[in-house]
Structure 1
Amino acid sequence: MAFRNPYQTYQKQAVTTSKPEDLTYMLYQGMVKFIRLAKVALQNNNLEESNGYNLRAQDILSELMVTLKPGYTISDPLLSLYDYMKSRLIEANISKKIEILEEVEGHAMELTETWSSAMKLNNTKN
């Protein structure tokens, strides 16, 4: 008999029951988390672990790119930003440069903060 991790169960339920704007926020938060973990692993010279976290951040960017809805004025600039961030993560993974991870982390944090502000503004209007 296998025991489930309660945290994983909670996480799965949170994802399946969340609104799209909440999911986007979770993706942004996850991206920041994985970039930070990649930085720490790289600083500790754990290249395999850093690679894994970097790839998870890239996967999040891919998901964000796929879920963009065309036709909105913000969609094209966001797609360009996501594409740039993903290419920089790839470059950081190849070159093992923490500075590049820090650059992408800054963009990811700004996106997270902006999205959070937009959600709060939207909630006060409704």
Structure 2
Amino acid sequence: MLTNNGYDQYKSNSINTATPEELTMMLYNGLVKFLMQAQSAIDAKNIERANNSIIKAQAIIIEFMTTLDMNYEVSQNLELLYDYMYRQLTQANLKKDNVIVGDVLGMAKELRDAWSQAMKLAKHPAPVQEVIAK
């Protein structure tokens, strides 16, 4: 039990001390993790675990949707993408369809990787000449 309490305390401290950018990365990592768990559960014909994993993934997507700042055009585009992902996961959960889960997982990984790259660029912005050259 001590191990769990220590781990839970570590997780809590990690969340409480994280920047908003780091929290977003944690959510993207959680989304990817739950989608991968859903795939595994569907393969194993574990309907309950698949259902729970998909519901957790959908909860993260809802969190992303509700925290968007709609003053930016990119937020409106992300809202449409998140809504699509959510609806696809509803279908995947009803049908226990790994193809749909895999499609959403691919989108989630791309979003996570883009967020990771944005975080790196924000910490170490490239000189204007390098950005223009690319």
SS at match of 1:125: coil
78-87 vs 5-14, greater mean Cα deviation: 5-14
Q: CA RMSD in A?
A: 1.4
Deviation at 1:82, TM superposition (A): 0.5
Letter in 2 for 1:101: V
Distance 1:72 1:15 in 2: 26
Letter in 1 for 2:29: Q
Percent identity of paired positions between Structure 1 and Structure 2: 41
96-105 vs 6-15, greater mean Cα deviation: 6-15
2-11 vs 68-77, greater mean Cα deviation: 2-11
SS at match of 1:13: helix
**1:70 match:** 70
Unaligned runs of 5+ residues in structure 1 are: none
Distance 1:102 1:54 in 2: 12
Q: Deviations over 1:81-101 (max 9, x none)?
A: 000001001100001110000
**1:125 match:** 125
TM-score (norm 1): 0.95
Moved segments of 4+, more than 4 Å: none
Deviation at 1:13, TM superposition (A): 1.1
SS at match of 2:9: helix
**1:94 match:** 94
Question: Do structure 1's residue 47 and structure 2's residue 56 form an aligned pair?
Answer: no
Deviation at 1:5, TM superposition (A): 2.1
Q: How many residues align?
A: 125
TM-score (norm 2): 0.89
Higher Cα Rg, which structure: 2
